[in-house]
Amino acid sequence: MFRRAVFAIAGLLVSLSGGSVRAQTAPPLNVPPALLEDIVVGSRILAEFGVLDAFGHVSARDPNNPKHFLMSRSLAPALITADDIMEFDLDGNPIDARGRSVFLERFIHAAIYKARPDVMSVVHSHSPGVIPFSVSKTPLRAVFHNAAFLAGGAPVWDIAHEFGATDMLVRDNGIGNSLARTLGDKPVVLMRGHGDVTVGPDVKIAVFRAYYTDVDARLESQAIALGSEITYLSPEKGLKADSINLAVIDRVWNLWKQKVQANQGK
Ligand code: MN
């Protein structure tokens, strides 16, 4: 009787440990490893540059299934690895959560992928430089060529217009859809008193835009402080300059990537 009980307990322990081993070695996501690496590197780049802190996220649409997107479990962007990346549907539901906690504001990403078939990557940040332009009547405009993508304007979305007094978070699909409507066909939308969202045809470009949106905002604030008339990039010049920036995106990306990987080794 005693021996039988010991065997039963041992069997239970084996099956429990077997279960946990199975959970840890779940099949990897069926997406190109280079895409997972871009999400990880992009997150670390933006953390390194102070665009993302403990908040914010970088995501990518699943190239094998345009109705799914990829983003990390809830974790500070500087800490994520490829193993932390999960798959979601366009309503923001995790496909295989396995007990992992997810970002509350994943609906930002879900709603934009649903509304914009051209968008393959989305970055949400609380970048400090843009906040003044989200709470004032001064529009964010392109003041230098690296931010040429802003020459067509960046709309400001105010959650209070449709949803009244909230905690400011994009915590469901209805709020996400409202944000996506304000983004329209633009590359950037500012969120009043919160941050911004940039989008792009790939992770590198969405990350580039997140960084240079912050840099441009800081430069515009400085230019306004000088107190004289400012000459901004016109939409026509912006279009030309943006296409040149996009043509050399790999040069920029490889430099940034090397920088974050060197710092990881320290
Ligand atoms: Mn946020």
d(CA 12, ligand 1 centre) in Å: 44
d(CA 259, ligand 1 centre) in Å: 26
| Residue 10: pLDDT band with limits 50, 70, 90 | very low
User: Mean pLDDT for the chain?
Assistant: 91
CB 210 within 8 A of CB 128: no
Question: What DSSP state is assigned to residue 225?
Answer: H
Residue 3 has pLDDT above 90, yes or no: no
Give residues with Cβ within 8 angstroms of 253, minimum separation 6: 41, 204, 207, 208
| Residue 6: pLDDT band with limits 50, 70, 90 | very low
What pLDDT was estimated at residue 238?
87
Residue 263 has pLDDT above 90, yes or no: no
Least confident of 25-34, 40-49, 103-112, 127-136: 25-34
What pLDDT was estimated at residue 11?
43
Per-residue pLDDT, averaged over 154-175, amounts to 97
**Known catalytic membership, residue 105:** yes
Phi-psi region of 193 (alpha: psi -120 to 50; beta: other; left: phi over 0): left
SS (H, E, C) 232-265: CCCHHHHHHHHHHHHHCHHHHHHHHHHHHHHHHC
Closest CA to 260 of 70, 48, 58: 48
pTM of the entire structure? Answer: 0.89
Residue 12 has pLDDT above 90, yes or no: no
d(CA 27, ligand 1 centre) in Å: 30
Per-residue pLDDT, averaged over 38-42, amounts to 97
pLDDT tens by residue, 200-250? 999 999 999 999 999 999 999 999 999 999 999 999 888 888 888 899 999
| Residue 255: pLDDT band with limits 50, 70, 90 | very high
Distance CA 217, CA 50 (A): 14
Catalytic residue, chosen from 37, 48, 87, 105, is 105
pLDDT tens by residue, 184-196? 999 999 999 999 9
CB 198 within 8 A of CB 119: no
d(CA 105, ligand 1 centre) in Å: 7
Please report, rounded to a whole number, the percentage of residues in the chain having pLDDT higher than 70. 89
Full strand arrangement of the beta sheet holding 57-61: 85-89, 68-72, 57-61, 121-125, 195-200, 188-191, 156-157
The CA-atom distances, in angstroms, between 63 and each of 45, 120, 241 are: 23, 8, 28
| Residue 163: pLDDT band with limits 50, 70, 90 | very high
pLDDT tens by residue, 105-162? 999 999 999 999 999 999 999 999 999 999 999 999 999 999 999 999 999 999 999 9
> Can you list the domains of the chain with their CATH numbers?
31-264 (3.40.225.10)
Question: What DSSP state is assigned to residue 60?
Answer: E
The CA-atom distances, in angstroms, between 185 and each of 40, 138, 150, 189, 227 are: 26, 21, 12, 10, 32
| Residue 26: pLDDT band with limits 50, 70, 90 | low
The CA-atom distances, in angstroms, between 24 and each of 17, 64, 75, 80, 82 are: 11, 24, 18, 16, 14
What pLDDT was estimated at residue 237?
87
Residue 1 has pLDDT above 50, yes or no: no
Give residues with Cβ within 8 angstroms of 28, minimum separation 6: none
d(CA 187, ligand 1 centre) in Å: 17
